[in-house]
């Protein structure tokens, strides 16, 4: 029986990161994957959907510029666009495969990669099945990283052709003339943004509440909803899906609204986007005794109740993001073979929603701060006051920064809505992880013109020394505190 210091089951973002970190410790490592290296981080997931989004944004921006160049809208080719998506996926997958091949043949021979389905038959023994071939290996330590899949609602006729999840949506042969999206969370809203952006598909979005993205601040949601509706998206607010059937190759669905009225709609395709579920099935024998639930594997700092077995990425009940999975993968290996320099925390995790416009976040938003009962200071600055946004001729969006309601003004979180949002939040993410106050950002010399100059102005407003004054530009700038459930303006 072959013996390894570490066996990693799953070669998605989390598992791949864990295996690469183990090599840094010079440990004999086996990486097992039953499907494709990269997992949902590359195929039918993060990279593919974001490539769709980039191409959609290009198409939308081009249509809006047609009058400037006095030309007619050109024909949009689905096959050409989908071809670009596949190229992007293959480029990233090729990079990972190339690295694996090199490391497998390296003189150290520390890394092995096996294709197949892995199953824990004991605390240390893993059975690997690949077709007719079956073998068992021994691991001192095991990292479980088998990821997740789209949640399937059994009452819906999901066939991945007419009624699809994100796994089947890329198998279409052309843009549908209409599509209903079940689920108004991040992924559902991203796909609504993508397909409405191409201008070829009438999107219906089912939302059980009175607004999409219920976990987000209202000022963020207002911009996203307005842009969706301007792109022709029909948002079914306060609605419940009663029934969905396939009739003559199309989708017929019935909604019940909170006022008890019913309405029937007919569209060409449906996308079900109601979350993801962890891939736990057939992963271990009952005698192994790993504690888990429908939400995922129970763990403490990535370690399960079995001392030598760790769980990371979408298998756990933590945040399901590529960057978080990679962070957990590295951290788990550092716990096993070393001593992490810092504790695993999620407060400074940067996230981005690929909407119109993009929305980047780090730390707490106002909704979360209120739920936690935290008093805070908040400053908001619209893109219309930032030179770079003015130069780009796109001033839609804003920056919002939250700080503690005291003299230290430690940063609680920041939200950026608009172009270049994701590149604007990194400095604040670092300060949150360092538990630093806003003065660290106040005197940085930012490139001009840049979106990050807006962050500097936010900080200076909190410190009472901004170039732009909230009282003079009311409506575009604001500096307030939220104390005991009420807002009040901050004046200096």
Quote the CA–CA distance of 218 and 242 in Å, as a whole number. 28
Q: How far is CA 183 from the centre of its chain?
A: 15
Question: Over the stretch 303-351, which tens digit does the pLDDT of each residue have?
Answer: 999 999 999 999 986 677 888 999 999 999 999 999 888 888 777 788 8
* Percent share of the chain, pLDDT over 90: 74
Q: Is the pLDDT of residue 20 over 70?
A: yes
List the domains of the chain with CATH numbers.
2-149+277-337 (3.50.50.60), 163-274 (3.50.50.60), 357-489 (3.30.390.30)
The pLDDT, as a whole number, for residue 420 is 86
Q: Say what the pLDDT of residue 318 is.
A: 67
Percent of the chain's residues with pLDDT above 70: 99
H or E element that contains 118: strand 117-120
Q: Would you place residue 107 in the very low, low, confident or very high pLDDT band (cuts 50, 70, 90)?
A: low
Dihedral (C-alpha) 303, 306, 312, 317: value to the nearest 10 degrees?
A: -90
> Tokens standing for 5?
């210091």
Task: Quick: pLDDT tens for 237-289.
Answer: 999 999 999 999 999 999 999 999 999 999 999 999 999 999 999 999 999 99
pLDDT-derived band at 447 (thresholds 50, 70, 90) equals: confident
Q: Whole-model pTM above 0.95?
A: no
Mean pLDDT in residue range 110-137:
96
d(CA 361, CA 142): 33
Return the SS3 of 385: helix
The dihedral through the CA atoms of 318, 323, 328, 331 has a sign that is: negative
Which contacts (CB < 8 Å, 24+ apart) does range 154-162 have? 156/182, 156/244, 156/270, 156/272, 157/244, 157/245, 157/246, 158/272, 159/246, 162/246, 162/249, 162/250, 162/251, 162/269, 162/270
Question: Is residue 230 predicted with pLDDT exceeding 70?
Answer: yes
pLDDT in tens, 36-91: 899 888 877 789 999 999 999 999 988 888 877 788 877 889 999 999 999 999 99
């Amino acid at each position: 029986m072959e013996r390894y210091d570490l066996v990693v089951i799953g070669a998605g973002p989390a598992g791949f990161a864990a295996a690469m970190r183990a090599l840094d410790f010079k440990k004999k490592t086996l990486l097992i994957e039953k499907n494709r290296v990269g997992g949902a981080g590359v195929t039918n997931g993060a990279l593919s959907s974001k490539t769709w989004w980039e191409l959609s944004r290009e198409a939308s921006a081009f249509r809006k510029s047609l009058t400037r160049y006095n030309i007619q809208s050109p024909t949009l080719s689905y096959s050409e666009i989908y071809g670009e998506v596949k190229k992007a996926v293959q480029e990233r997958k090729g990079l990972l495969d190339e690295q694996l091949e090199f490391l497998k043949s390296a003189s150290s021979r520390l890394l092995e990669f096996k294709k197949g389905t892995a199953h824990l038959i004991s605390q240390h023994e893993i059975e690997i099945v690949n077709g007719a071939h079956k073998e068992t290996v021994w691991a001192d330590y095991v990292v479980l990283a088998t990821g997740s899949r789209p949640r399937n609602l059994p009452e819906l006729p999901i066939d991945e052709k007419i009624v699809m999840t994100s796994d089947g949506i890329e198998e279409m042969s052309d843009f549908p003339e209409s599509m209903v999206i079940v689920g108004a969370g991040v992924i559902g809203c991203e796909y609504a943004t993508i397909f409405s952006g191409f201008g070829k598909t009438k999107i219906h979005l089912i939302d059980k509440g009175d607004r999409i993205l219920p976990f987000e601040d209202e000022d963020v949601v207002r911009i996203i909803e307005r842009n969706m509706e301007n792109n022709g998206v029909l948002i079914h607010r306060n609605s419940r899906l009663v029934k969905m059937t396939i009739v003559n190759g199309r989708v017929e669905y019935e909604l019940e609204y909170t006022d008890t009225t019913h309405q029937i709609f007919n569209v060409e395709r449906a996308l079900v986007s109601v979350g993801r579920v962890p891939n736990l099935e057939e992963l271990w024998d009952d005698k192994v005794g790993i504690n888990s639930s429908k939400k995922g594997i129970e763990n403490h700092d990535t370690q399960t109740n079995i001392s030598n077995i760790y769980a990371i990425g979408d298998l756990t009940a933590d945040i399901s993001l590529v960057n978080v999975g990679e962070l957990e993968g590295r951290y788990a290996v550092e716990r096993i073979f070393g001593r992490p320099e810092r504790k695993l925390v999620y407060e400074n995790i940067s996230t981005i929603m690929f909407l119109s416009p993009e929305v980047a976040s780090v730390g707490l938003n106002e909704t979360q701060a209120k739920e936690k009962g935290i008093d805070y200071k908040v400053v908001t600055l619209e893109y219309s006051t930032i030179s770079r946004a003015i130069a780009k001729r796109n001033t839609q969006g804003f920056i919002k920064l939250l700080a503690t309601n005291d003299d230290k003004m430690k940063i609680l979180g920041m939200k950026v809505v608009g172009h270049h949002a994701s590149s604007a939040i990194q400095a604040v993410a670092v300060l949150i992880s360092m538990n630093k106050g806003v003065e660290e950002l106040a005197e940085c010399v930012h490139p001009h013109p840049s979106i990050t100059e807006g962050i500097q102005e936010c900080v200076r407003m909190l410190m009472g020394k901004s170039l732009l004054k909230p009282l003079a530009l009311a409506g575009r700038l604001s500096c307030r505190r939220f104390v005991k459930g009420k807002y009040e303006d901050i004046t200096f």
